[in-house]
Amino acid sequence: MTEEELRPTTEKAVIIGAGPCGLSAALELQKVGIEPLLIEKNAVVHSIYQYPTYLQFFSTAELLEIGGIPFTSVNEKPSRREALQYYRDVALRSNLRIRAYETATAIVPIEGGSFRVETVDRFGRTASVTARNVIVATGYFDHPNMLGIPGEQLPKVSHFFQEAHPYTGMKIAIIGGNNSAVDAAMELLRVGADITVVYRGEDYSPSIKPWVRPLFEGNVNRGKIRMIFSSRIVRIDAESVTVQPNEANSEPYTIDNDFVLAMTGFRPERTLLTDAGAIVDADTTVPSFNPATMETNVPGLFIAGVIAAGREANEIFIESGRHHGTLIAKRIAEVNAIT
C-alpha cells in the first residue's frame, strides 16, 4: 500500500474476504451503484488455491458462476485451475477494488451507525477505513481443527493436502475418515505412498462420496491402504506415530511414519463479528442474522458465504453462498433509498 492508501478513507461498503462469496457480493453491489472495497488477507479466492492441485469440483461450472458472468469449462465439472482463472478474471475485468495481503483486525461500530474497519498489511503497517456497511465473508480455511497432541507442531504434520508428489514412496498417516482424507489417500496411491488412515469412527463415514467409496474400500480390501477404525493418533514423533484404540483397556502402539496429514476439518473465526456486537450462538457458532437480508443483529453488518453455517461448514457451498450477495445488495439499496 502507498502512504495515500494508508490514510483513513470512507466507503459505502467494505467486504472482508475476497473468496467467491465475497466477490459475488461485490458484483451485486456494483449493480446497485456501489463500488465496495474488498480487504483480503491472502490472494483472491485463497480458499480455492488451498484445494488439492488436481481437484475437480462436484458442481458444474454454471453453478459456480457469480454476477451472471459465464463460466465455461472444457470439462463437465471444472477443475481447481479453471476456477482460479475464472474468479481471477472476474475480479480483474469487473475492476473490483481489492486490497490483497491485508488483514482486517477489528470492526468497530462508531457514532452515526457506521463502522471503522482496522487493518494491518503484510509489512505490519496499520490502516483504517470507515464504512456505512460491512460484509464479512471470511470463510474458514485459515483455522484448522487442532488435535492438541504432542508433536502436532512438527514440520512433518500438515492440515492441508495439496498434491501427492512430495510424499512419493513415504509412509503417510492420514487422520480422519471423511472426503478430504479419502481423496488424499486415493491421490497418494498414485505415487507409491505407504498409506495408513486412522479414523475414530467404527465404520466408513456416510459422508464419503458414493462414487468414490467403492474404489476406496476396494483398495483397503486389497491391502493397498491400511484402514484403522475406532482409533486416534495420540502422539506424533519424528519417525513414528502412536495410535490409541478406542476400546477400554486397550494399549497404545506405534507405527513407523514419515509424514502426517491431519484432515480434521476447519473452524470458522467469529472474533470480528462478536467484537462488533454481533450475537453468535455458543454451541453452533452460527451468527444471529436475517436469512432474507443476511444482516446480523447489528444494523449494517452483514455476513456472506460459509460463515453463516457455523460449525456445519458443509451446509453452505459456493453454489448457495454466491446468492447471499444479491440479498445483501438489495437490503443496502433499500436502506440507502430510505435515508
- Exposure string over 56-94, b if 16+ CB within 10 A, otherwise e: bbeeebebbbbbeeebebeeeebbbebbbebbeebbeee
**Per-residue pLDDT averaged across 209-233, rounded?**
95
306: Cβ contacts below 8 Å, ≥ 6 apart = 21, 139, 140, 268, 313, 316, 317, 321
Question: What is the rounded average pLDDT for all residues in the chain?
Answer: 91
Indicate the pTM of the whole model.
0.83
Percent residues over pLDDT 90 in the chain: 74
Q: Pick the residue with more confidence: 285 or 279?
A: 279
pLDDT at 114 over 80: yes
* 273: helix, strand or coil: helix
Q: How many Å apart are CA 339 and CA 25, to the nearest integer? A: 22
- Which of the pair, 58 or 187, is modelled with greater confidence? 187
Residues facing 109 on adjacent strands: 115
Asked if the domains 3-143+266-338 and 157-262 are classified in one and the same CATH topology, the answer is yes
pLDDT at 7 over 80: no
Asked whether 220 and 210 are in contact (CB, 8 A), the reply is no
Contact criterion met (CB below 8 Å) for 77 and 57: yes
pLDDT at res. 313: 53
Query: Is residue 110 classed exposed, middle or buried when 0-12, 13-18 and 19+ CB atoms within 10 A define those classes?
Result: exposed
Instruction: Give the model's confidence band at 95: pLDDT under 50 very low, under 70 low, under 90 confident, else very high.
Output: very high
Q: Do 137 and 22 form a contact (C-beta atoms < 8 A)?
A: yes
Could you name the CATH architecture of 157-262? 3-Layer(bba) Sandwich (3.50)
Q: Which CATH superfamily is domain 3-143+266-338 in?
A: FAD/NAD(P)-binding domain (3.50.50.60)
Q: What is the pLDDT of residues 119-158, one digit of tens each?
A: 999 999 999 999 999 999 997 666 788 899 999 999 999 9
* The predicted structure's pLDDT at residue 297: 96
Adjacent-strand bridge partners of 301: 134
Residue spans per domain, the chain: 3-143+266-338, 157-262
Q: What is the pLDDT of residue 278?
A: 95
Output 73 or 336, whichever has higher pLDDT. Answer: 73
Q: Is pLDDT above 50 for 315? A: no
10 Å CB burial of residue 256 (0-12, 13-18, 19+) is exposed
